[in-house]
Structure 1
Amino acid sequence: MIVPNASLGCARCHAHAHADATSDAFQEASGSVPPPTLTRTGHVVVAACLGFIGTFGFLSNLLVLALFCRFRALRTPVNLLLVSISASDLLVSVLGTPFSFAASARGRWLIGRAGCVWYGFVNACLVFSPL
C-alpha cells in the first residue's frame, strides 16, 4: 500500500489506512458489490459512445483491411505494420467493445467477473501489441 508522505510520521494514520484497505479487500472477496458510480443517464451516455466507437472502429478497420487486400500497390512493409494494427483494433471492436457496451447499457457486467476478466484479457492481448 502506498502511503502519502504527510502520514508517514503518524503510525496511527498508517495503521488506520491499513485497516481500511484490509476491510475493503474483505468486502471485495466476500462478494459485496460497491455502489454504482454513474447515474442511469451516465450509463446510457457511455453506452451510446461505446456503441459509436465500436461500430465506427469495426467499419473503418474493415475498410482498411479490404483496401489493403484489394490494391497491390498498398502492400508495402510500412503499410503491413498499419494493417497489423488495424487488424488488432478490429478484433478489439469485435471481441471487447460489445462487452463494455452491454455492461454500460445495463449498468453492470452481464456475465459477472468472467466478463470483466475477458474484457481485460482481450484489451491486454490486442490493444498493446500489434499482431
Structure 2
Amino acid sequence: MPTAKQRRGEETRQRLLDAALAAHEAGEATVQSVLASSGVSLGSPYHHFGSFDGLIAALFARCLGEMLDATVADLERARTARTGVTAAAKAYLSFTMDRPAEARVIHLPEYIAYRPAHAEVIAEAKRPRMARTSA
C-alpha cells in the first residue's frame, strides 16, 4: 500500500503530465506554462522527471502506452491473424480520432528529439504492451 507521501508524489507526477499535455495543445509547452497550469513548484519537474525534457519524454511514453493499451486490448480479443490486424488498425485509428491531443504527442516530429536521450523511459512503457502483443 503506498504511503501518503508516495500518493502525493504520484498525484504531482500526473498533474505535471496533464499540464504538459494541455500546454502542448495550446502551443506553449514551456516550463513556465506547465508550472502555471499544474500549480507545482519549479523543482517538481526536476524532482520527478530529472529535467523538463524528462517530463516531455514521460508524456510521450504515457501517450504511447495509452495508445498501445487500446490497440493491444482489441488485438487480444481477436481469434485469427486477419481479425487481429484489422482490430489493431481500427483500435489505433479510434484512438487517434478519440484522443487527438495524445496522438499528436506521439506523432509530432518535435518529440523525436527526446527519444534518444530518454529511450529507456519509452522502452519501459512499451515493453509490457509489446510482450502482450507477441503473446
- TM-score category (smaller protein): 0.3 to 0.5
Compare the two structures and name the one with the higher helix fraction.
2
Larger-gyration structure (1/2): 1
TM-score (norm 1): 0.33
TM-score (norm 2): 0.33
